[in-house]
Structure 1
């Protein structure tokens, strides 16, 4: 039974990844405005219904890899020791996440370029990051001593962290001469310098 469940989950993950990659490829080749859910489903050789089982729309399919990375970041933060200072937990989790990202994945790079070219995708990205920011805020709040200031402090820490991570990543895409891990470390240092 466990083998069947494992195989089924792997097949679902592979289908989701294929749909994501096809969406990116089609958007890069044809332009985002010309890509439809039907075109993605056809190119991936699945039905429209199958596409809908995995993604609500083409934007969600395009952002799949980002969401996976962000979810992984949240897992890494949650796995840090409960008594660790929030900023330390955030930075160490980011270091773990970025340690494996010292090369520019062509699919991910294509996605970044699409986002720059299409304001509608930037709006979708802001929505996704807003959801993550709320989850991260809740995790940080659990790590802070209870006080009336804790919710605001947690929100500011989460927003600052995510924006520094985003800025370092964007800089890395534009100037890939240094490892992403170093740039993220520098960005966090700039935030904590007084």
Structure 2
């Protein structure tokens, strides 16, 4: 049986996501307080009241847990896109959904710039950071294709559009990081998305109507 990706989540799945989120938040908090090298899986598990074995059922490493906050955004973005009006132009819907999803998290704290830089520049974290963004990009591509309608041409352009959006997100974030937080992340993201819109290829097919 194929599960409907738009169907409401069951209680078990909601609990699993809540547990994963709690471990991710604990991993990130501990890493920012102590430094990546000073954090053990046992520390993260203890912080949320689970066993290391349970932690390993969700994450393959502490680095994956630290970067999981990026992956969490995929759900926010997918749901935001599904909530856009069915008659709205595709790129406008994607751009607005992206800003809504990241805006719901609030502007990054300027006081955390140095901590964020030390985490993301750590060799063991960089690879997981890129893997996490790749996961978000794939989920966004699927959500765009769901809205535009399946088809070979749409599938290709959906992946391109998702890649452009994720590139804008990463560019805005690193701009915030490099500029010590003096340039607002959300403002920069908004500008980049608008500038990218002119070069987005059209996807064929009409948007499906909401049930």
TM-score by length of 1: 0.74
In the TM superposition, 1:1-194 aligns within 5 A as 9=15, 13=18, 16-105=20-109, 112-144=116-148, 148-175=152-179, 176-193=181-198
CA distance in 1: counterparts of 2:114 and 2:82, whole angstroms: 30
CA distance in 2: counterparts of 1:152 and 1:128, whole angstroms: 21
**Residue 209 of structure 2 aligns with which residue?**
none
CA distance in 2: counterparts of 1:42 and 1:19, whole angstroms: 10
CA distance in 1: counterparts of 2:72 and 2:112, whole angstroms: 12
Contact kept in structure 1, 2:142 and 2:158, CA below 8 Å: yes
* Deviations 1:29-64, CA, capped at 9 Å, x for gaps: 543234321232245554213323543421232123
CA distance in 2: counterparts of 1:20 and 1:105, whole angstroms: 18
* Deviations 1:87-122, CA, capped at 9 Å, x for gaps: 111111122123344432489757732443223322
Q: Structure 1 residues 74, 110: closer, same or farther in 2, change over 3 A?
A: farther
Contact kept in structure 2, 1:24 and 1:110, CA below 8 Å: no
CA distance in 1: counterparts of 2:35 and 2:182, whole angstroms: 29
RMSD value, Cα? 3.4
Contact kept in structure 2, 1:19 and 1:61, CA below 8 Å: yes
Residue 157 (structure 1) shift: 0.8
Residue 17 (structure 1) shift: 4.9
Structure holding more helix per residue: 1
Paired residues, what number?
Answer: 187
Q: Structure 1 residues 27, 181: closer, same or farther in 2, change over 3 A?
A: closer
Question: Which blocks of at least 5 consecutive residues in structure 1 are unaligned?
Answer: none
Q: Structure 1 residues 169, 16: closer, same or farther in 2, change over 3 A?
A: same
